[in-house]
Amino acid sequence: MAMHTWLLYLLAVIGLSLTPGPNGLLALTHGALYGHKKTLFTISGGVTGFVLIIALSMVGIGALLQTSASALAVLKWLGAGYLMYLGVQIWRSDPISLNLNDKPIDKTAKDLYRQGLLAAISNPKVLLFYGAFLPQFIAVDRPLLIQFIIMALTFGLVEFVVEALLARIAHRIRPWLNSVGKRFNHICGGVFIAIGLALPLTR
C-alpha cells in the first residue's frame, strides 16, 4: 500500500470511527455504566469482530479480482454510491441518546467482550459496508494479504483508541450529545457523502 493511499485511508478511518454506530454507542453506554477501564473489554470484542468482517470482505474481494481484473473498478463505483447512501441515512437519523435509566448489572470481562463482539458482527449491513469501503483503497498490482493486514491493523487501532476515548468521557459528552446530536449526525453523514464522492476520483 502506497504511503499516500494509507494516509487517505487513515483519515477516512478516523472519520468513520467518529460516526455514530452500534459499537460507539455501546462504548459510550458501558463507559457511563461500568467505567472506562472495564469497557476496554467491550471495545476489544468489537475490534475483534471488525477485523473478522474485514477478513471476510477481503476474501470476497480477492475472489472477485480473480474472476475479473476490471471488477474492482466497478466495485469502487458501486461502493461509492453505497457510502453516499449511508451518508444520507446518517444525516436524516435521530440524534444519539444514552439510556442510563436502568440500574447497571454487574458483568464479567467475558460478558462485556462477547457483547462488543456480537454488536460488531450481528449487523449484516457492516459486511456490506466494508465491501463498499475497502475496495476504494486496494491496489490490484500489490499483494492483497499485505494490504489486508495494514488495513485491518489500522482500522482496529483507530477504532480502539476512539471508542476508549468515548468510554472515558461518556458522562461529559452525554449533555453535549443531547444538545447538538442532530448537527453531529449532519457532520458524520457529510463525511460519508464526501468519501463516496472523492474516493473513486483519487486513483
Q: Which residues contact 186 (CB under 8 A, 6 or more apart)?
A: 91
Q: Count CA atoms within 13 Å of residue 193 on its CB side.
A: 12
**Separation of alpha carbons 22 and 96, rounded Å:** 10
Query: What is the distance between the alpha carbons of residues 25 and 203, in angstroms, rounded to a whole number?
Result: 34
Amino acid at 22: P
Predicted pLDDT at 200: 61
Specify the 3-state DSSP secondary structure of 107.
coil
Reported for 98-104, long-range contacts at CB under 8 A and 24+ positions apart, including other chains, are 98/25, 98/28, 98/29, 98/32, 98/170, 98/174, 98/177, 99/29, 100/29, 100/32, 100/33, 100/174, 104/33, 104/34
Residue 39 has φ and ψ, to the nearest 5°, of -70, -15
pLDDT of amino acid 86: 72
pLDDT number for residue 176: 67
CA 136 to chain centre: 15
pLDDT tens per residue, the chain (203 residues)?
Answer: 788 888 888 988 887 787 767 788 788 878 877 888 999 999 999 999 999 988 888 888 777 777 776 776 777 777 778 778 877 876 776 666 655 555 566 788 899 999 899 888 876 667 777 877 888 888 878 888 898 899 999 999 999 999 999 888 876 776 666 666 677 677 767 877 877 777 666 55
Alpha carbons 136 and 142: distance in angstroms, whole number: 14
Task: Report pLDDT for 92.
Answer: 78
Q: How many CB atoms lie within 10 A of CB 66?
A: 10
Question: What is residue 150's predicted lDDT score, i.e. its pLDDT?
Answer: 92
Instruction: Give the model's pLDDT for residue 113.
Output: 94
d(CA 68, CA 57): 17
Tell me the pTM. 0.76
pLDDT in the model for residue 154: 93
Q: What distance in Å separates the CA atoms of residue 148 and residue 163, rounded to the nearest whole number?
A: 22
Question: Please, are residues 13 and 156 in contact by the beta-carbon 8 Å criterion?
Answer: no
User: Vertex 11, ends 10 and 16: CA angle to 5°?
Assistant: 95
- Every domain of the chain and the residues it spans: 22-94+106-201
pLDDT of residue 59: 84
Among the listed residues 51, 85, 82, the one whose alpha carbon sits nearest the alpha carbon of residue 159 = 51
pLDDT for 1: 75
